[in-house]
Amino acid sequence: DIQMTQSPSSLSASVGDTVTITCRASQGISNSLVWFQQKPGKAPNSLIYGASSSQSGVPSKFRDSGSGTDFALTISSLQPEDFGTYYCHQYKSYPFTFGGGTRLEIK
């Protein structure tokens, strides 16, 4: 199975800040990676995938990078609505796996 290691596990930042979340795959997954955002009590929502292919309606403030084993999600100009938990997910091979999540708290 491909293990996805996300860091940090939690993050506190101020409005207007730029933050970066990283995700490392235990083996190469090309660019078969999606980033999800989840708000408390809600289902996850996909943000961006395959190196900057964003879902419809997702602001350009969300940027991803990486390929192979190392990936990053950068969120610029943080706003209060950006709080939540972010997950990376690989769909290169079964079983599909997720990172452990990064809880983003707005100061």
Partner 1 sequence: EVQVVESGGGLVQPGGSLRLSCAGSGFIFSDPHMDWVRQAPGKGLEWVARIRNKVNSYKTEYVASVQGRFTISRDDSKNSLYLEMNSLKTDDTAVYYCAVSYTGRPPFNYWGLGTLVSVSS
The binding site for partner 1 (CB under 8 A) comprises: 1, 32, 34, 36, 38, 42-46, 49-50, 87, 89, 91, 94-101
Residue 29: left if φ>0, alpha if ψ -120 to 50, beta else—which one? alpha
Measure the CA–CA gap between 107 and 87, rounded to whole angstroms: 20
Nearer to partner 1, 27 or 77 (CB): 27
For partner 1, which is the closer residue by CB, 18 or 30?
Answer: 30
CB of 65 to partner 1, least distance (A): 16
CB 66 to partner 1: min, Å: 15
If the CB atoms of residues 17 and 96 are measured against partner 1, the closer one turns out to be 96
- Least distance (Å) between residue 43 CB and partner 1: 4
